[in-house]
Amino acid sequence: MKRLLTAALLTLSFASHAELVSTDWKTEGDALATLDTETGIEWIDLSETDGMSINTVLSMTSAGGKFEGWRLPTEDEVLTLFDAAFTGTFVTGPNTSAPKFKEQILAFHELFGYTSYNIDRAYGLYEQEDGTVKMIGVRKNETVYFKYSESSYSTGYANSLYGVFLVSDGGDTISSINNPALNMMNANSPYNVPLAGSGALALLALGAGVRRKCR
């Protein structure tokens, strides 16, 4: 799964569909973030927020906090992420199909890590537009949980098996600091890179340091 992407592959990726690729958060090679090349948004690994509530994570996004610069994703951003990571149509709740989801779930774990002691889940909390807190994630090699809530979650809810989704618009990871054009597709990126010639810029930005691909 960990492999260097070639320039040719990158060109095809941008020409055809979104790609999810690993980026580095704090130190080169830590692979603790994931870039959606179509939206230009970076996601922190769920393993980094495991066991925390949304309120706890938010308290750590201010200046000097562990997650300084990061923010909660919108509901649309979360659903767009899963649309990029998985194929098919989901119903609310568990969606189980081992042959269909196995490779995609393994790739998701490779990018986002695990949120359970027995290394079989990656669950993430997020807040919907109406303020409802839902869980979305994967379990074992067969189940995708979509907009799942078995109880009334709140922003203060914490579970040792759940992480919290966090995103960056740019400049909060070592990868995006070293290569600002990583986030060029994000309208909220602080780098304001013109979209003209984006294919060439993408190759320059992603050509070094990207190791993993999910699709």
Closest CA to 135 of 119, 110, 118, 116: 116
Other Cβ atoms less than 10 A from the Cβ of 95: the count is 19
Other Cβ atoms less than 10 A from the Cβ of 215: the count is 15
Domain boundaries, the chain: 7-214
How confident is the model at residue 89, as a pLDDT?
Answer: 78
Per-residue pLDDT of 140-186, as tens digits, reads 888 899 888 776 799 999 999 999 999 999 999 999 999 999 999 99
Cβ-count burial of 108 within 10 angstroms (0-12 exposed, 13-18 middle, 19+ buried)? Answer: buried
* Coil, helix or strand at residue 170: coil
Per-residue pLDDT of 11-52, as tens digits, reads 223 333 468 999 999 999 999 999 999 999 999 999 999 999
DSSP annotation of 94 reads E
Structure tokens at 169: 């618009």
